[in-house]
Amino acid sequence: MTATTPDGTVRERPFSWRFTTPLYLASILNPINSSLIATALVPIAHGIGVSIGQTATLVTALYLASAVAQPTAGKAAEVFGPRRVLVLGAVAVAAGGVVGGVAHDLLTLLISRVLIGLGTSCAYPTAMLLIRKRARAAGMQQPPGLVLGGLQIAGVATASLGLPIGGLLVSGFGWRAVFLVNLPVALLTLVAALGWVEADGPLRRRGLREIAARLDVPGIAGFAAAMLALLVFLFELPTAHWWILALSIALWIADILWELRAASPFLDVRLLAARPALANTYVLFGLVMLCQYVVLYGVTQWIEAVRGYGESESGLLLLPMTLVSGVVIAVVSRRNMVRGPVIAAAVIALAGSAGVLLLNSGVWIGLVAVLTFLFGASTGFAVAGYQTALYTHAPPDQLGTASGLLRTFGYVGSIASSAITGMVFHRQVSDQGIHLIALIMIGVSLVLTVLTLAARTLRTRPAVAQS
């Protein structure tokens, strides 16, 4: 394994396979679990004797837990050390897998999904902190693009793999397998992290009040309450509970006012105002993820309901999205580019959205693969470009929280896409519905393109943020 000299610099290869393996393994679990459950909802309903509508809460539980836990885990990693939080996350995932595997009722399954959401959310923010620490120790002046690209390939680019994997697990071993599969991967991640990731420094003795202040517990609670209210409003669509939205807005205002006064803010509002490139990164990434997940949710439902394909076949039709995004990420990340890739992501998303208008019950099914190819390329360009922007513009001591917030915005886009498909397909999945979804996607892609072109902070490759 690569050694560290007394002055803190790293000899030879700073990013060996031993260092990256536990980070990549941990990063796979959250996006795959997001889609893995989709193929198991009907068997779960039959297995525990509840309606299919009730099992949809298992999808909601992981999204809600992850959206709040990602930046929270990042903040905890900044205070207590990234390796400690990574290890704790692996333990939570293993526990969630076991609980889900032996569950006999919906409540126990919900607890399992929350544990999995909390545990898997520790991966990305801790990995970003560990990579930043290793790069600085090695004296690197530019982001380690190849390593960051691998992290994204292991994360966002694997989301669509959950559908075919879930189909195979359910058909071969039953619905409990989609929970139990987390156990061996989590244990492997735990062993690799303990053996190959450098230990954090000794914990300083702090009182509970100081720990709460460093973590900004009131800020985390305010963020969690405001975000949960917003996500519940989106999940309840097409039934619009406006009072929930009003509550969310009031909670956001209260949280922002608190954070402006906090000594160690969880959501650093002043930082976002001072670094518009960071704020732009969050918003634009959320819009890209909205487009990607509309394809995953909307087109998948159309393939199954209108074209009559099963879950496994529809999952295979979406594989080009994963393969192409992985190739694009690998090529783009090593060059540490920002503006070119994010413009390409917006323009390709617009072209793909227009292509969805061509779908109908008699169209060549290969067109679906072509469209997922386009959206895979768009996703690859986006996650590579925006991750480089995040790594570059976020302060090193706040990179954990900043990385978690990036994923949170991705979840908001994902949940918004679920709300869109739920409203459009509320009564029936049809050709007319998929065309309406295409028009909505075109509108979102146009907004994304205009905002991307207008984002002056993304016009050139920014300088690496210094501590």
CA–CA separation, 100 and 224 (whole Å): 25
Q: What's residue 201's pLDDT? A: 82
CA–CA separation, 190 and 188 (whole Å): 5
CA–CA separation, 36 and 39 (whole Å): 7
pLDDT at 141 exceeding the cut of 80: no
Average pLDDT, the chain: 85
Q: List pLDDT tens digits, range 65-85.
A: 888 899 999 999 988 999 999
Q: List pLDDT tens digits, range 255-302.
A: 999 999 888 888 888 888 888 888 888 999 999 888 888 877 788 778
pLDDT at 3 exceeding the cut of 50: no
* Contact partners, residue 140, CB within 8 Å, separation at least 6: 14
13-200+208-216 sits in which CATH class?
mainly alpha
How does residue 116 score in pLDDT terms, banded at 50, 70 and 90? very high
How does residue 336 score in pLDDT terms, banded at 50, 70 and 90? confident
Q: What's residue 347's pLDDT? A: 95
The secondary structure of residue 93, as a DSSP letter, is H
pLDDT at 195 exceeding the cut of 60: yes
Helix (H) and strand (E) counts in the chain: 22, 0
Q: Are 126 and 73 in contact (CB under 8 A)?
A: yes
Give the CATH H-level superfamily of domain 268-467. Answer: MFS general substrate transporter like domains (1.20.1250.20)
Q: What's residue 1's pLDDT? A: 43
Q: Are 347 and 164 in contact (CB under 8 A)?
A: no
The secondary structure of residue 298, as a DSSP letter, is I
Q: List pLDDT tens digits, range 446-463.
A: 999 999 998 876 654 444
Strand partners, 4: 10
Examine domains 13-200+208-216 and 268-467 and report if their fold is the same: yes
User: How many Cβ atoms are within 10 Å of 466's Cβ, its own excluded?
Assistant: 8
Radius of gyration of the chain (CA): 21
Burial class for 259, CB neighbours closer than 10 Å (0-12, 13-18, 19+): buried
Q: What's residue 465's pLDDT? A: 41
CA–CA separation, 67 and 284 (whole Å): 17
The secondary structure of residue 461, as a DSSP letter, is P
* Phi, psi dihedrals of residue 226, rounded to the nearest 5°: -65, -45
Q: What's residue 84's pLDDT? A: 94
* Domain residue ranges of the chain, discontinuous segments joined by +: 13-200+208-216, 219-261, 268-467
Single-letter residue type at 377: A
The secondary structure of residue 181, as a DSSP letter, is T
pLDDT at 157 exceeding the cut of 70: no
Longest Cα separation, the chain: 68
Q: What's residue 238's pLDDT? A: 73
Q: What's residue 191's pLDDT? A: 95
The secondary structure of residue 238, as a DSSP letter, is T
Q: What's residue 150's pLDDT? A: 85
Q: Tokens in use for 417?
A: 């896409």
Q: What's residue 354's pLDDT? A: 93
Q: What's residue 160's pLDDT? A: 65
What average pLDDT score do residues 27-51 get?
Answer: 84
